[in-house]
Amino acid sequence: EDQVTQSPEALRLQEGESSSLNCSYTVSGLRGLFWYRQDPGKGPEFLFTLYSAGEEKEKERLKATLTKKESFLHITAPKPEDSATYLCAVQARGDYKLSFGAGTTVTVRA
Partner 1 sequence: GAGVSQSPRYKVAKRGQDVALRCDPISGHVSLFWYQQALGQGPEFLTYFQNEAQLDKSGLPSDRFFAERPEGSVSTLKIQRTQQEDSAVYLCASSLVTSRNTGELFFGEGSRLTVL
Count residues binding partner 1 (CB under 8 A).
24
By the rule CB under 8 A, 94 interacts with partner 1:
yes
Contact 108, 80 (CB under 8 A): yes
Task: Count H helices and E strands in the chain, helices first.
Answer: 0, 11
Amino acid, res. 100: F
By the rule CB under 8 A, 95 interacts with partner 1:
yes
By the rule CB under 8 A, 42 interacts with partner 1:
yes
Contact 96, 78 (CB under 8 A): no
Contact 25, 33 (CB under 8 A): yes
Among 60, 102, 107, 109, binds partner 1 (CB under 8 A): 102
Among 15, 45, 58, 60, binds partner 1 (CB under 8 A): 45
Q: What is the largest CA-CA distance in the chain?
A: 44
By the rule CB under 8 A, 87 interacts with partner 1:
yes
Positions that interact with partner 1 (CB under 8 A): 4, 31-32, 34, 41-46, 49, 87, 89, 91, 94-103
